[in-house]
Amino acid sequence: MKQRTDEEHNAKMKKVQAAQAKKIATKTVEKGLIIVHTGPGKGKTSAALGMAVRAIGHGMKVGIVQFVKGAMATGEKAVFDRFPDLVEFKPMGEGFTWDTQDRARDIAVAREAWEEVKRMIADPEYKMVIADELNIVLRYDYLPTEEVLEALAAKPEMKHVIITGRNAPQALIDAADLVTEMAQVKHPFREQNVKAQAGIEF
Amino acid sequence: MKQRTDEEHNAKMKKVQAAQAKKIATKTVEKGLIIVHTGPGKGKTSAALGMAVRAIGHGMKVGIVQFVKGAMATGEKAVFDRFPDLVEFKPMGEGFTWDTQDRARDIAVAREAWEEVKRMIADPEYKMVIADELNIVLRYDYLPTEEVLEALAAKPEMKHVIITGRNAPQALIDAADLVTEMAQVKHPFREQNVKAQAGIEF
């Protein structure tokens, strides 16, 4: 960035501020958002957990259902369990689908987890609902995407719903308000043989 | 995905599991990671906060310095303040650079925040250090990137350092272990005039 004098800088910043103020003035809508975190990169689940933290901090009740990670003790569970009035945290999966090797059981587990999500979406007490790794379940056809779209279409207007997992179906992206694709620029698993570590992956 | 019989599915999953197990067996390295969240999409800060939650849940001490957002009350602050033994949370910025309109002061604030980050990186007590929006400060040349690279090169081996903000300098990306680019697929600010909301943006 070319070096400006302080005066030039401050004049420029005045202009940027005015432009920002004008832009923000047009942003008046408040609504519950359908948010999708997808893509092959990292940060899909952790960004959802970060939003849960923000919501809890504002006294909003948050429901979290994990479709895959149920079998392992995670750091997030230890923290969220400290806020029993504000967070209902349900790790309901039984592990990766290649670990269970039982499709009928995977489907039953996915169905059970989805019923929890549906309940939280319908219940006005929850201001934010996170369906973690739901996209994986949809990708394997363990749950019809149409059913998810229906529940989202019927959600209370102010409720935020966050859905994570790679390979989000296009119909879900179309229905969402905010979609972020996490792209992998560099990943230590691949390049340096680094294993999954506490505080990062779980 | 083409429909398989349960038997075909289970046989296929056995193979996937074996391949996964083989892959995981090569991942034996444990090390503190230099992690960068960049790109124009959302989720850069919230993914860092989610990692902080995981680390805290494992009893790891986390230091968080926010270079931009100091002026506003955030949900994350309310939550992290509940873990005084495990989190040192320092919102040190004074707002966006176009709000302060005072480059000398912005530089002084960035310098002060960076000294905190350096202290946390050097102090073995902290297992994870988050420099939130540091990339913005680097982008404006408020702090020399070389100084950041030096501190990272000298960090204790097992310490995780997470740096967020769009426009990460290439030299920082080169030095990092794990880089995720958050790409914006759909953003309600732009398309629907939705304003920044509690639980999502702060």
Over residues B42-55, the pLDDT tens digits come to 999 999 999 999 99
Residues in chain B with CB shorter than 8 Å from the CB of A101 are: 10, 13-14, 17
Closest listed residue to residue B44, CA positions, set B186, B173, B160, B164: B164
Residues in chain B with CB shorter than 8 Å from the CB of A181 are: 41, 182-183, 185
Is B173 in a helix, a strand, or coil? helix
User: Which pLDDT does position B60 carry in this prediction?
Assistant: 97
* A41 Cβ under 8 Å from any chain B Cβ: yes
The average pLDDT across B11-20 equals 82
Distance between CA B130 and CA B45 in Å, rounded?
9
In the DSSP assignment, the letter for residue B21 is H
Q: What is the pLDDT of residues B85-110, one digit of tens each?
A: 999 999 987 766 666 778 888 899 99
User: Which pLDDT does position B9 carry in this prediction?
Assistant: 82
* B25 Cβ under 8 Å from any chain A Cβ: no
Q: Which residues of chain A have pLDDT under 50?
A: none
User: Which pLDDT does position A69 carry in this prediction?
Assistant: 75
* Chain B nearest CA to A147, separation (Å): 18
User: Which pLDDT does position A94 carry in this prediction?
Assistant: 74
User: Which pLDDT does position A25 carry in this prediction?
Assistant: 80
Q: ipTM of this model?
A: 0.86
Give all domains of chain B, ordered by start, each with its CATH number.
30-192 (3.40.50.300)
Closest in A30, A31, A41 to B181, CB measured: A41
User: Which pLDDT does position A19 carry in this prediction?
Assistant: 83
Is B29 in Cβ contact with A193 (below 8 Å)?
yes
Residues in chain A with CB shorter than 8 Å from the CB of B79 are: 53-54, 56-57, 83
Phi-psi region of A72 (alpha: psi -120 to 50; beta: other; left: phi over 0): beta
Give the pLDDT band (50/70/90) at residue B191: low
User: Which pLDDT does position A2 carry in this prediction?
Assistant: 55
User: Which pLDDT does position B42 carry in this prediction?
Assistant: 94
Give the pLDDT band (50/70/90) at residue B2: low
Closest listed residue to residue B1, CA positions, set A145, A23, A2: A145
* Chain B nearest CA to A137, separation (Å): 12
- What are the helix (H) ranges across B62-187? 75-80, 97-100, 103-122, 134-139, 145-153, 170-175
Higher pLDDT, B27 or A159: A159
Among chain A residues, CA nearest to B86 = A79
The average pLDDT across B103-125 equals 94
Residues in Cβ contact with B149 at an 8 Å cutoff, skipping those fewer than 6 apart: B171, B172, B175
Q: How many CB atoms lie within 10 A of CB B150?
A: 11
User: Which pLDDT does position A55 carry in this prediction?
Assistant: 97
Lowest mean pLDDT among A175-189, B29-43, B56-70, B178-192: B178-192
Give the pLDDT band (50/70/90) at residue B186: confident
pLDDT at B182 over 80: yes
Is A109 in a helix, a strand, or coil? helix
Closest listed residue to residue B103, CA positions, set A59, A12, A118, A149: A12
In the DSSP assignment, the letter for residue B172 is H
User: Which pLDDT does position A115 carry in this prediction?
Assistant: 97
Closest listed residue to residue A36, CA positions, set B111, B154, B65, B185: B185
User: Which pLDDT does position B95 carry in this prediction?
Assistant: 65
Residues in chain B with CB shorter than 8 Å from the CB of A1 are: 139-141
Higher pLDDT, B69 or B82: B82
User: Which pLDDT does position B27 carry in this prediction?
Assistant: 78
* Chain B nearest CA to A115, separation (Å): 23
Distance between CA B115 and CA B117 in Å, rounded?
5
Q: Are A84 and A90 in contact (CB under 8 A)?
A: no
Closest in B42, B53, B60 to A180, CB measured: B42
Distance between CA B64 and CA B49 in Å, rounded?
9
Residues in chain A with CB shorter than 8 Å from the CB of B13 are: 97-98, 100-101, 103
